[in-house]
Chains A and B, each alone.
Chain A
């Protein structure tokens, strides 16, 4: 599973960094770092994180941009 975060859309609400801390990380207070190729054991957490993003900036998919479901 691959992900892409639209960093122009990201507003650092940090929901992803709470819900999947091994994949999403806040660098300082505002900048987001993430792991684009999601390890198997983190996929459920990443799904939770993508759904929780208040600005819907996280695209999840085999090919990122495909339906998140």
Chain B
């Protein structure tokens, strides 16, 4: 089939269970111009070079399509959609209460609490023969963690779940559909969630508590901190990213292991392999399949193809991480793989802000599930998938098990 329809075929919902043969086709052309004017890149070395190329913008207001640029300009972007130096300033400010150099112990200190949350959730699975890994475990775990970290009441989950669905829906790249309505719904949801989170933060001004929303309004930052709008869009980014991605890492992980009982047994026997296994999952079944937001600021030549200024440039990370020019035996899931500089968290200045937390959550979650559930079997293979081709993962993952281990 023609390479200029690859994007259409990748985003087609029927491709969701297994997009990898399409990625192999994409890698044959390295850069594939699409009939809708976008450019797909799927090879490891080209993606890596573009992720480190200052001529490539993350800000969709640089798109040459006027409608797209207009929609992008309706609401201030968070730092994921900005370029340096603004991106750098906001990311550093946001990092202050979250990680090194100012708060190096925050994620490590959450370890015990994540273990407790995971143990509570698996305890609830005992005695039930059939469970949904998504609804009963992989969704509530990261939501509870991100709520504690940000300082968002867990019981408000039904409220922000709807907004979050709409925001993720805005990322649903279906070239056969008019994106305007979907993008507007996503913008409305970002605005509503921003007002909600901004209100929570304001309520803590002068009454500091040990969470990020409180730190954003109470801590002294010599760089000036976040203004009201920045606080809202940043908090929205953290809440959405914190609970729409890790759920897929955990679920894709269980699905991958359930399909490979020998590897599942290996990890039960040797839990010390888990950190390496999670890196391999990030390479083999990454929760973020592609970065759809990039735009060249000038005409850029990639592997002999000129990508024009302002064109949508889509970097298919999940394809790059399966590139045989970079990884030996790339379609094999190998939890012992040592040479594994995958693109699961991107690379360069926009590399995943929450990566250390996601790593820890996935390691703890999978360890708890493997330790607790015996004789696990998949009920549906492939399971039903969520819509998005970008944040890809099962909507449900039904499993049956014989009982509880220790």
Contact = CB atoms under 8 A, between A and B. Distances in A.
A29 B92 contact: yes
B101 A52 contact: no
Contact of B104 (A25, A44, A45, A55): A25
A51 B275 contact: yes
A18 B108 contact: yes
Interface string B265-283: 0000000110110010000
B99 A14 contact: yes
A17 B100 contact: yes
Q: Chain A interface residue count: which class?
A: 20 to 34
A51 B345 contact: no
Contact of B351 (A44, A54, A68): A54
A14 B336 CA distance: 23
B359 A52 contact: yes
B92 A69 contact: no
A47 B275 contact: yes
B180 interface: no
Nearest to A30: B101
Nearest to A14: B100
Given A21-B108, A29-B92, A45-B108, A52 B100 contact: no
Q: Which of A17, A45, A52, A55 has the most CB of B within 10 A?
A: A52
B341 A55 contact: yes
Contacts of A17: 99-101, 104
Contacts of B360: 19, 48
Q: Which of B100, B275, B341, B356 has the most CB of A within 10 A?
A: B100
A65 B356 CA distance: 24
A26 B101 contact: yes
Interface string A1-38: 00000000000011101111100011111000000000
Interface string B313-348: 000000000000000000000001011010001010
Interface in B330-383: 336, 338-339, 341, 345, 347, 351, 355-356, 359-360, 363
A57 B292 CA distance: 30
B107 interface: yes
Contact of A52 (B92, B108, B275, B339): B275
A44 B99 CA distance: 20
Contacts of B338: 67-69
Contact of A48 (B99, B100, B275, B355): B275
Contact of B101 (A20, A29, A45): A29
A21 B351 contact: no
B104 A19 contact: no
B105 interface: yes
B104 A54 contact: no
A47 B272 contact: yes
Contacts of A29: 92, 101
Contacts of B100: 14, 17-18, 21, 25-26
Given A28-B101, A29-B101, 7 more contacts: A15-B359, A21-B104, A29-B92, A51-B279, A52-B275, A68-B338, A69-B338
Interface of A: 13-15, 17-21, 25-29, 44-45, 47-48, 51-52, 54-56, 67-69
8 interchain residue pairs of minimum CB distance: A18-B356, A17-B100, A21-B104, A26-B101, A26-B100, A51-B275, A18-B107, A48-B275
